[in-house]
Structure 1
Amino acid sequence: MATGPSAPPAPVPLTWRGMAREGASHVVGVLSGRATATMLRTAGSRGLCAGRWLWVRTPGCRSSQGAPGAPRRQAPDSQRVPARPTAQWESGGPGPRRAASLALLAAFGLFRWGEKQAETDEDQIILLLKQAKLSAIKGELEEAERFLHQALHLAQQSHNDQALSYTYAQMANLAYLRGDLLSAEELYKATMRQLLSSGRRQDDNALIEMSLKLISIYASTERHNLAVEGYKWCIDSLEEKLQREGAAPEEALSVEEKENTRLLLGMSLDCCARYLVSRAQLELAGSMYQKALAIAEEVHGETHPQTVVLMNDLATVLDLKGCHDQAYEYVKRASSLARETGHADEYLILSNLAGILTHRGNYAEARKVYEEALKQAQAKGDDMLIQRIGEGMEELEANSRRSRLQAGGQV
C-alpha cells in the first residue's frame, strides 16, 4: 500500500523544440527552469524571435531566479512539482541567457534587403549583429548592448524597418537575458508596434511568440490577471487561426506553415500548463498538457524529444493530483522512450519515475531507479539534480519506514 503523497523534489522544466529547417529556423525562448531554446519551422515569422522563453531557464518559458513563465514561490510539499527534463539546452548558462544568446544566432540571412544602395549599411548592420551575438555568447553583455545600439542607429538612418524591428527584438532578448524585465517588456512592445504598423496581423506567429514572452514577464512580476488573459488570447487566437488555415489550399498556405502554427499552439499550451502548475491549478494544467502532447505526437511522433518531455510533464501533474497509477503509465513510457532514443534528459525522467514509484509504494523498484538516475546525474555533473535525488531518496526511506511500522502495528 502506498503511503500519503509527499511529492518528489521540484522538477526542472522542459520546453518546446521543433526541428529547424535551413534558412527558416526560428529560435524561441523558454519560460522556466533551465535554459531552453525552441526552434520552430517558421517560414512566416521572418526570423523574428520571441526569445521562447526566452522560455529559458528560463522560464520559458524558465532563469535560475524564476522563469518568466512560472513565477517562483514556495509551494507546500503536496504541490511541489517533480523535476522537469530540459534536454540540456542550457549549455550556455541559466535560462534567459542561453535563449537570448541563441536568438542572436538567427540574426543573419533572415532579412530581405531590397535596395542596392543600402548594401553598405546592411553589411554593417549584419556585422554588428554578429558581434553582438558573439559578445552575448561570451557573457560580455554590455558589449553586446553597445553593438545592438549601433545596429539600431544604422537601421534608423537607412529607414530599414525590417532591420529596425529585428534589432529591437534582439535588444529585448538581451534585456530579458540580463534580468531587466521591465526594459524587455517595453522593447518587446515597441517591436510589436513596429510589426503591426508594417501590416502584420495580430495573430501573426512572430507576434504571438512575442506575446508569450510578455506573458512570461507578467507572470514573473506577479501580474497574474494579465498573464491569464494573455495565455487565453494566444491559445484562442491560434485555435481560430488553425481553423482558417485548415480550409486554405496548399498553394495558398504550405503544409509547413500550417504545421508551424500547430507547433506554436503546442508551445502556448505547454507554457500555460507550466504556469497553471505554479498556481496549483492542476486540473486545467493537466488538460493543457494533454492537448500539447497530442500535438507533439501528431507533428513529431512519439519518439521525438519534446513528446517524451511532455509525457513526463503530464505524469508530473497526474502525480500531484494523486493519480499515481495514471502518472506511472505516462512516466514509464517516457523513461522507456528516453532510454531507447538516448534522450539527453533520461536521468531527469528516471528521477521522476522513482518519485512516482515511491508514491505508489513500490519502494524497492524506486530505490533502484533513483540509484540509476543518481549515477547518470553524477556523470553529467548536475549538482542540482543530485541534491534533488538525495531528497527523493530520503522521502523514499521515510515512507518505507512508515509503511513497515504501519504493517507491524496491524500485525
Structure 2
Amino acid sequence: MFKIFQNLRYTINNIRGSSKLKATPSFYNHSRRPPNVWLCPVILQPNFKICFLPPNVAIALSVLSWLGFAEEDENKESELIMTLKRAVLCTRREQYDKAEQMLHVALRLAQQQQNQQGILYCYDLMANLAFDQLQLEKAEKLFINVLQLLLSKGTAQNDLKVIHISLKLARICQLRAEIEKADIGYKWCLDQIEHEKYKDRDSRILYGVINDWYAQFLLDRGDTSKAMVHLKEAHKACNETQGDISEQSVLLLNDLGITSFRAEDMDGAEKYLKEALKVGNNLEDKSQLGVIHANLGLILLEKGVLKEAEKYCGEALKLGKRYEHAESLDQANYCFDQIKQNLGK
C-alpha cells in the first residue's frame, strides 16, 4: 500500500514461550469492525486455541448525516433517501445482491438530480458493501473514488470522513498481507485523529476503532506489548462513548484477556475475562458469553486450577446449548478436550 498512501499524501498536498497445553489458537479477526470476518486462525503457541469474538457492529456513526445529509433531508423521505435506507437495511440483513441493486438505483437517482452528496454517499455505501464481502480490489477502487471526491471539494485531511476511509484502505492492505503499507496507513490515521479525538463523540468513537484495528494488526505481527497499549486505548474510548456496560466493552475485554494470555500474563488474562463476564451479564444479549466462559476455563486450566476450569467450561456448554451459539459450543468442547488431556498426563 505504499502507493496508495503515497498517492493519498500527494492528493492531500495538492487538492489538500512454552505452554503446558498443546493446542492451536483460533482467532476471529477483528475489525469489530468491518468487515465482519475475523481473519486467521492466528497461531499463538504451538497448540492452544482461544477465541476472539466476532463483532456485530463497526463504527456507530450516523448513517445519512455521515457524508453531509442534513436532518431536514432525512425528514423529507425523498425517493433517493428511501432507496438508500432500504440498501442499508438489506446490507444489515446480508442481502448483498439486493443491496447492490438498490444502490445502483439510488446512484442513478442522485445523478439525475445532480445531487453531489447523494452520489458521494452511494459510492461510499458501494465501497462498504464490497468491503463487507471482502471484494478488496473493488472496495479499494470505490474508497479511493470517494476520497478523491471529498478532497476535490476541499475536505481537510484530518476530517473524520477522510480518516475513516483511510482506515479502511489500511485494513484492505492488512487483509492482502501488505504489511508495510498497512502499517503506514494505520499510523497515518492515528496521527490524523490525535488532535481530533476529544472533539466530539464521533471523533472519540473513531479514535477507539483505529486503536482497536491497529491492535489486531500488531497481534498478527506478534507485537503483543504494543497491541496491549492500543487495546487499552480502544477500551477506554469505548467506555467513554458507550458507557461501561456495552457489547463492545465485552468484546474488547475478551481481547485484552487473550492478549494478556499471549503475553504469558495469566493473572491479567483471568482478570480481564472475569470483568468481561461481569459486564456481559448485564447485557440483554448473552449469547456470546459462552465463548468467554470457555476462554476463562482454558486460562484457569493453564494456571492449574482444574476444578474452576471445569466449572467455567461447563457453563460455556450450557450457554452454547441455551442460545444455540456454535462458537460457544465449539470452544466449550475444546476446553473439555484439553481438560481430559491434562487429566491423562
TM-score, length-scaled by structure 1: 0.70
Secondary structure of 2:78's counterpart equals helix
Q: How big is each residue's C-alpha offset from its partner over 1:177-234, in whole Å with a ceiling of 9 and x where there is no partner?
A: 3332100110011111111222221111122222222121111111111111111111
The alpha-carbon deviation at position 113 of structure 1 amounts to 9.4
Partner of 2:52: 84
Residue 125 of structure 1 is matched in structure 2 by: 80
1:146 maps onto 2:146 in alignment: no
- 1:290-369 aligned at under 5 Å gives the runs 290-342=232-284, 344=286, 345-369=288-312
Q: What SS class does the counterpart of residue 264 from structure 2 fall into?
A: coil
Instruction: Work out the CA distance in 2 between the residues paired with 1:301 and 1:168.
Output: 33
In structure 1, the residue corresponding to 2:26 is in which secondary structure? Answer: coil
- Deviation, structure 1 residue 7: 6.1
5+ residue gaps, structure 1, are 15-30, 37-52, 67-71, 91-98, 246-256, 403-411
**Counterpart check, 1:270 vs 2:238:** no
Q: Distance in 2 between matches of 1:312 and 1:133?
A: 29
SS at 2:193's partner residue?
helix
1:121-145 deviation digits (Å, cap 9, x = unpaired)? x933224324434554565533432
More displaced, 155-164 or 299-308?
A: 299-308
Given candidates 69, 74, 80, the residue that maps to 1:111 is: 69
Change over 3 Å in CA distance of 1:206–1:363 after alignment to 2:
same
Partner of 2:12: none
Unaligned runs of 5+ in 2: 1-17
When the two structures are superposed, what TM-score results if normalisation uses the length of structure 2? 0.82
Structure number with higher relative contact order (C-alpha < 8 Å, ≥ 6 residues apart): 1
Equivalent pair of 1:350/1:373 in contact (CA under 8 Å): yes
The residue number in structure 2 matching 1:248 is none
- Correspondence for 2:35: 56
Runs of 4+ in 1 over 6 A off after TM superposition: none
Counterpart in 1 of 2:320? Answer: 377
Matches within 5 A, 1:150-189: 150-189=105-144
Partner of 2:43: 75
Q: Cα distance 1:13–1:374, how it changes in 2: closer, same or farther (>3 A)?
A: farther
Question: Which letter maps to 1:111?
Answer: F
Question: Which range moves more in the overlay, 348-357 or 291-300?
Answer: 291-300
Task: Indicate how the Cα distance of structure 1 residues 81 and 229 shifts in structure 2: closer, same or farther if over 3 A, else same.
Answer: farther
Tell me the matched-pair count: 324
1:336-372 C-alpha deviation (Å, 9 max, x unpaired): 2322445533222212111111111111110110010
Equivalents in 2 of 1:4, 1:11: separation in Å?
A: 20
Given the alignment, which residue of 220, 226, 235 partners 1:284? 226
3-state SS of 1:358 partner: helix
User: Could you tell me the percent identity over the aligned residues?
Assistant: 27
Aligned-partner residue type, residue 165 of structure 1: L
Whether contact under 8 Å (1:363, 1:400) holds in the other structure is no
- How far does the alpha carbon of each residue in 1:5-29 deviate from its partner, in whole angstroms, 9 at most, with x for none? 5467424466xxxxxxxxxxxxxxx
State the match for 2:6 in structure 1: none
Task: Answer yes or no: is the 8 Å Cα contact 1:8–1:392 preserved in 2.
Answer: no
What value does the CA root-mean-square deviation take over the aligned residues?
A: 3.2
Matching residue of 1:23: none
Amino acid at match of 2:84: L
Note if contact 2:52-2:255 (Cα within 8 Å) is conserved in structure 1. Answer: yes
Instruction: Give the 3 Å change call, closer, same or farther, for CA 297–81 of structure 1 in structure 2.
Output: farther
Take 1:295 and 1:343, find their aligned partners in 2: how far apart are those partners? 22
The answer as to whether partners of 1:331 and 1:349 remain within 8 angstroms in 2 is yes
Shift of residue 170, structure 1, vs aligned partner: 1.0
Amino acid at match of 1:361: G
Q: Distance in 2 between matches of 1:3 and 1:276?
A: 22
- Tell me how far 1:3 sits from its aligned partner: 6.1
What does residue range 159-238 of structure 1 map to in structure 2 within 5 Å? 159-238=114-193
